Structure 1
Amino acid sequence: MLRTICYISDSRLNNSLIAFDSLTLKAKKNNATNNITGLLVYKNNNFLQVLEGKHETVDAVFNKISLDNRHHNIFKIIDTTIEQRFFGEYNFGFTVVSDKNALKNLTEYLNWLRIADNMIANEISTMVENFISR
């Protein structure tokens, strides 16, 4: 079985594009190394992230994020086991949503994911859609 954790947090990046680019490059590299799939959305000085992978690996990554001073007020929204990855086949496994085109592609994917008739997939889709539309 796999695990997914979805969280939101406030950012201490102060909308610094350079700091965000550095964070996303590191996240993509680390997540690829650890076989973590999911997505990272940054909007209005907040993060929303979905992490998917082996239980121990997801726990370790989330614990590391919890200690990262670029995040504060971390709130875990979903923490559950899953039978399959929802983002494993999407955009090479881990997506950073940072422009309108990426947002459009994500919205289309979430619409497709919603059809899967999976309760967790629907929760994740709703959570991400609410976050990006606010």
Structure 2
Amino acid sequence: MMGGHRMRTPFFAAMLTMFTMGAPAQECCDPAGPFRKGEAYADQPATCKTIADWIERAPAYDGRITMTTQGPLSAVETDGTLAYLVMCEAPGVQVLCVTYSTNGMQPGDVVLFAGGYSRVDETRVMLDPCLARAE
């Protein structure tokens, strides 16, 4: 049995090398920015003043990107199942956090969002799923 296992190892190693070398490495993310691969908080969140600039420089990455933002809530709504928290005021860029609870947060509260980044249009970003905490 062991001999058979050793004989397969080079095959699997070669296949793994072929698959990993075939795809170009994708760069993500500016360490000074609000974006991170996967499920990570950024050290420097975007703010209502900086988010318009950051979304223009969002990484072109095929994997999951998390964006971290910090600012005042402009709206809080729930449909009984999900909570919708909106950060920043129109006409500027607004950020919608889709989460499970308002946790008592109210418009005007300063909060920190981190969630799966999706740009909806020129002035709207959605983070889904999203974590929100009062600051």
User: Which one has the bigger helix percentage?
Assistant: 1
Relative contact order, CA 8 A, sep 6+: which one is greater?
A: 1
Give TM-score scaled by structure 2 length.
0.27
User: Which one has the bigger strand percentage?
Assistant: 2
Structure with max Cα Rg: 2
